[in-house]
């Protein structure tokens, strides 16, 4: 595939071209209404949706289940020996509470130019954009000098071990010759004032999920002992909460803050341009966390106390109590040193610390032909956009591919409002319908 044709692919993604047979919007509606809530996933339903499209188009494809119902699908347009390009999204979606939504989250409903439904943003909308670009390349009949692979996977919302991680472990041959990957977790937002900000994700904080298990003597709630599993756990969690990790700036975050400084409120402009100096001021760090928690999370290792479990009965002092912590560590953080920091805060030999999940450290550079092309084509369509390399506080399946040497970027090829962005894993998830019109 020539550089021009790769550009054409990305133009196709940006424009989300509509074809006469079935429109992109119709496909998105159908996809949203396939229930792939994880747990349990049932992603095979989504894989079969794509399989029917590929069969109708005459495009070779494969499906594989990592477990019953946990389906993955990929299709390949063959080309030459240049590094191949993967278009990746995940089929599964997070649960939604019907009573908190304006609409049924598993129905695709149009309201005032927006399409409501779980997955419209994360990531079924992106999957349909990738599909339309992929079909455009297929229908063009033009010779490619590299393979282009469409891939839809299971289980991203629970860590990807039944999806991308399973494919990398068990079907590594799929990725032979692949050099680039486009995935979720970029950010293309238009503010209420009309400013356009595009962030291309190239690194992520790593999730280091931990379980704390406290043990002590059980008893009757009417006769409390000096200590218990519950009080030990509460005291340890309080020490963790009251002793945050010191701020420090890694290069990808410094580059990101410098790049976005001109597109933030004036109050934050100078600090972001001089972030190494700004973090020396405790008041700045406190204000930063209160007002811009998503950016603040990039300047330090963090832990959120998210799950608590103790006695199952009000008058029983349990022999054990547990907590789960969603810790996120900076890309270059030594995991062993971080765990020692947690142990020193816990400071109780009757509390055991278990590792639930930890990803390896990996990032992609901005000095690649694909990254530069993303910038060029974005500016061609959005000349006033502020574009920045980005580090994400969350995680995606990209780390599986970075681990095997594939340069992976989070790139969202449609604008969303700040209000729409809040729908990712939240209530009333929705996307602008115009993104799926020619």
Query: Would you call the peptide bond into 39 cis, given omega within 30 degrees of 0 as the criterion?
Result: yes
How much is the pLDDT for 362?
87
E strands of 25-161, at which residues? 61-65, 71-77, 82-90, 109-111, 114-116, 146-153
By DSSP bridging, strand 407-410 and strand 178-183 are parallel
Radius of gyration of the chain (CA): 23
Q: Tell me: pLDDT of 12 over 60.
A: no
pLDDT digits (tens, 9 = 90+) for 234-289: 999 999 999 999 999 999 999 999 999 988 889 999 999 999 999 999 999 999 99
Q: What is the DSSP string of 117-138?
A: STTTTTTHHHHHHHHHHHHHHH
First to last CA, the chain: 24
Split at pLDDT 50, 70, 90, the class of 21 is low
Judged against a pLDDT cut of 70, whether residue 403 lies above it is answered with yes
**Domain architecture of the chain: domains with CATH:** 3-185+396-436 (3.40.630.10), 206-358 (3.30.70.360)
Main-chain phi, psi angles of 215, to 5 degrees: -130, 145
- Measured CA to CA, the distance from residue 257 to residue 399 in angstroms comes to 22
- Cis peptide upstream of residue 16 (ω within 30 degrees of 0): no
3-state secondary structure of 247: coil
What pLDDT, on the 0 to 100 scale, is given for residue 250?
95
Residue 8 has pLDDT above 70, yes or no: no
- What totals of helices (H) and strands (E) does the chain contain, helices first? 15, 19
Percent of the chain scoring above 70 in pLDDT: 95
Strand partners, 349: none
Give the pLDDT band (50/70/90) at residue 54: very high
pLDDT band at 13 (very low <50, low <70, confident <90, very high): very low
What is the model's pLDDT at position 438?
62
Q: What is the pLDDT of residues 103-154, one digit of tens each?
A: 999 999 999 999 999 999 999 999 999 999 999 999 999 999 899 999 999 9
- As a whole number of angstroms, the distance between CA 138 and CA 156 comes to 27
Q: What are residue 109's DSSP bridge partners?
A: 116
Residue range 349-377, pLDDT digits in tens: 999 999 999 998 889 999 999 999 999 99
Mean pLDDT across 379-402: 95
Calculate mean pLDDT across residues 299-327: 97
Q: What length does the chain have? A: 438
| Mean pLDDT score, 72-88 | 97
């Amino acid at each position: 595939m020539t550089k021009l044709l790769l550009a054409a692919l990305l133009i196709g993604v940006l424009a989300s071209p509509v074809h006469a047979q079935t429109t992109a919007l119709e496909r998105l509606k159908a996809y949203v209404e396939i229930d792939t809530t994880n747990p349990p996933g049932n992603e095979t339903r989504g894989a079969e949706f794509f399989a029917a499209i590929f069969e109708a188009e005459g495009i070779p494809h494969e499906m594989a289940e990592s477990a019953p119902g946990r389906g993955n699908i990929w299709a390949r347009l063959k080309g030459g020996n240049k590094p191949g390009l993967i278009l990746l999204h995940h089929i599964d979606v997070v649960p939604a509470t019907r009573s908190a939504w304006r609409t049924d989250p598993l129905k695709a409903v149009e309201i005032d130019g927006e399409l409501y439904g779980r997955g419209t943003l994360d990531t079924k909308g992106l999957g349909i954009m990738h599909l339309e670009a992929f079909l455009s390349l297929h229908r063009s009949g033009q010779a490619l000098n590299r393979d282009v692979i469409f891939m839809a996977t299971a289980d991203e919302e629970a860590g990807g071990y039944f999806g991308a991680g399973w494919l990398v472990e068990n079907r590594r041959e799929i990725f032979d010759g692949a050099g680039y990957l486009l995935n979720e977790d970029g950010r293309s937002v238009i503010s209420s004032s009309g400013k356009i900000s595009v962030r291309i994700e190239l690194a992520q904080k790593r999730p280091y999920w931990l379980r704390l298990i406290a043990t002590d003597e059980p008893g009757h709630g009417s006769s409390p002992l000096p200590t218990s599993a519950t009080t030990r756990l509460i005291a340890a969690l309080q020490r963790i909460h009251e002793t945050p990790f010191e701020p420090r700036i890694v290069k990808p975050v410094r580059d990101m803050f410098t790049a976005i400084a001109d597109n933030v409120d004036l109050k934050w402009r100078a600090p972001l341009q001089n972030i190494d100096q700004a973090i020396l001021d405790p008041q700045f760090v406190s204000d930063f966390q209160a007002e811009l928690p998503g950016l603040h999370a990039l300047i330090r290792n963090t832990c959120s106390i998210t799950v608590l479990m103790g006695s199952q009965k009000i008058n029983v002092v349990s022999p054990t109590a547990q907590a789960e912590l969603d810790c996120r560590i900076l890309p270059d953080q030594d995991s062993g040193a971080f765990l020692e920091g947690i142990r020193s805060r816990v400071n109780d030999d009757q509390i055991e610390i278990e590792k639930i999940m930890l990803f390896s450290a990996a990032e992609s550079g901005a000095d690649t032909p694909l990254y530069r092309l993303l910038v060029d084509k974005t500016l061609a369509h959005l000349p006033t956009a502020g574009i920045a390399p980005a580090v994400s506080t969350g995680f995606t399946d990209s780390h599986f591919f970075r681990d095997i040497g594939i340069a992976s970027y989070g790139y969202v090829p449609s604008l969303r409002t700040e209000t729409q962005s809040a729908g990712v894993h939240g209530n009333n998830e929705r996307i602008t319908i115009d993104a799926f019109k020619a």
